[in-house]
Amino acid sequence: MKISVIITLKKDVLDPQGKVIQQTLNGMGFDHINEVRQGKYFEIDTKETDYKEAKNQVEEMCKKLLANLVIENYKIIDTQ
Amino acid sequence: MKSSVITFPGSNCDRDMDVALKKFGFQNKMVWHNDIDLPKSDLVVLPGGFSYGDYLRCGSMASKSKIMKSVINFANSGGMVMGICNGFQILVETGMLPGVLLRNKYLEFICKNVFVKIKNKQNIFFKNIDNEILELHIAHNEGNFFCTNDQLKEINDNEQIAINYCNENGKIEDQFNPNGSIENIAGILNKKKNVLGMMPHPERMIDKYLSGEDGSLFFNNLINNIK
């Protein structure tokens, strides 16, 4: 079973990389952008077959390693 | 006095730290990250470098390595732990110190000498040191100390700020903040004041012909405090 996770920076945390990407996009002519925030995407292929259990495990992974909850939020977005 | 320096895959200041500790009288042992037990130590040092290639977040993988369980137990029982640069990043990732170290504000890798002002001398790392201001070296890409407002209040209430970036006269202002750290924070302590994390490298300032000697002041004072 594959589970995907998106990690994003919390709203109040400065994202200098997102800002530079936004400035570059502006320079390329994409000038209607309010803000760009950069995040991370993970695809986890697990041997677990029970959906609920797999999701719980991925949630634990997010809390313990994948995200730093001081600055980041995680979202488990889909399973296949 | 016995010390241990932990080497992670990608550490690159571990041997400099070994040289510095031995120069000032520590009997130092190098400890591999995959070991389970710490040798008997008065001080454990997590050195600078790029553990695990800074993958995921700086220090995040190293904070889960086998030896870290022993380091955490050692600190919880009152042992002295010091993390320099990547070591500081590892300490915040374990939760032993509050906050995180973000990418530098202007996205530059910074490698230069800076001045820091010692804010708290009521701890074993800095007590009895004569100087108020030290000139030390920094070299990092992720040294921008950040924490939540609640954490910042707690850090201030408990007097956990160890050193702040300043100018040569000790002025702590925005213009002397190299990386965007909240309140110019360059190093912090835990609540019990037995764990120190700081971005500057004292081990790079121990030779008057090569660098400066403010790191020597730090290590000399440190071993006298521990004796």
Residues of the domain holding A28: 2-79
pLDDT for residue B152 = 97
Q: Are strands B110-118 and B161-166 parallel, antiparallel or unpaired?
A: antiparallel
Cβ distance B45 to B5 under 8 Å? yes
Which stretches in chain A have pLDDT values below 70? 79-80
Q: Please tell me which residue of chain A has the smallest CA distance to B61.
A: A65
- Single-letter code of the amino acid located at B15: R
Give Cα A57 distance to the centre of its chain: 17
Residues of the domain holding B61: 2-226
pLDDT for residue B190 = 98
Q: Are strands A72-79 and B2-7 parallel, antiparallel or unpaired?
A: unpaired
Instruction: Name the CA dihedral angle for A33, A39, A44, A49, rounded to a multiple of 10 degrees.
Output: -70
CB contact under 8 A, B147 and A68: no
pLDDT for residue B210 = 84
Respond yes or no: is residue B201 known to be catalytic: yes
Respond yes or no: is residue B159 known to be catalytic: no
Round the CA-based radius of gyration of chain B to a whole number and report it: 16
CB contact under 8 A, B146 and A70: yes
The Cα–Cα gap between B8 and B152 comes to: 30
CB contact under 8 A, A14 and B102: yes
At a CB cut-off of 8 Å and minimum separation 6, what does B155 contact? B98, B99, B147, B161, B188
CATH number, domain at A41? 3.30.1280.10
B136: which strand partners?
Answer: B114
pLDDT for residue B139 = 97
At a CB cut-off of 8 Å and minimum separation 6, what does B6 contact? B14, B31, B32, B33, B44, B45, B46, B47, B67, B71
Alpha helices, H only, B111-166: 149-157
Q: How many residues does chain B have?
A: 227
The total number of structural domains in chain B stands at: 1
pLDDT for residue B203 = 97
Q: Enumerate the residues of chain A whose CB falls inside 8 A of the CB of residue B143.
A: none
pLDDT digits (tens, 9 = 90+) for B37-86: 999 999 999 999 999 999 999 999 999 999 999 999 999 999 999 999 99
pLDDT for residue A80 = 63
A11 in B contact zone (CB under 8 Å): no
pLDDT for residue B195 = 98
**From B13, B33, B58, B85, active-site residue:** B85
Which stretches in chain B have pLDDT values below 70? none
The total number of structural domains in chain A stands at: 1
Respond yes or no: is residue B85 known to be catalytic: yes
* Chain A residues 17-36 within an 8 A CB cutoff of chain B: 17, 20
From the CA of B181, how many Å to the nearest CA of chain A?
A: 11
Q: Residue B159 — φ and ψ, nearest 5°?
A: 50, 50
CB contact under 8 A, B146 and A68: no
Long-range CB contacts (within 8 A, 24+) of A32-36: none
Most B CBs within 10 A among A7, A68, A73, hence the mutation to make, goes to A68
The Cα–Cα gap between B77 and B79 comes to: 6
